[in-house]
Amino acid sequence: MIGLIADDTKTFMNQLIKTDVFDNFLVLSLDLDTLCRFSVDGAVNSGYMSKEDADIQSIDEYVAWTYVKPVVATILKQSLRPTGMKLTLTLSQDATEEILRRHGQSHLGHPIKGFILNILFDGQHVKLTTGVNYNQFTLDKSLEHAFDAMITQFFKKNELIMIKI
Residues 6+ apart with CB under 8 A from 155: 4, 161, 162
Element (H, E) at 71: helix 65-77
Residue type, 34: T
pTM as predicted: 0.89
| Helix, strand or coil, per DSSP, at residue 18 | helix
pLDDT tens digits along 97-126: 888 888 777 656 667 788 999 999 999 999
Residue type, 120: L
pLDDT tens digits along 74-97: 999 887 789 999 999 999 888 888
Distance (Å, whole) CA 117 – CA 78: 27
pLDDT value for 84 = 96
Looking at per-residue pLDDT, the higher value among 127 and 48 belongs to: 127
Mean pLDDT of the chain: 88
Looking at per-residue pLDDT, the higher value among 55 and 33 belongs to: 33
Contact 117, 89 (CB under 8 A): yes
Which of 59, 58, 55, 57 has the alpha carbon at shortest distance from 42? 59
pLDDT value for 107 = 56
Q: Phi and psi dihedrals of 149, rounded to 5?
A: -65, -40
pLDDT tens digits along 49-77: 666 666 645 567 899 999 999 999 999 98
Task: Compute the C-alpha angle 151/154/159, nearest 5°.
Answer: 130
Distance (Å, whole) CA 44 – CA 11: 29
pLDDT value for 50 = 66
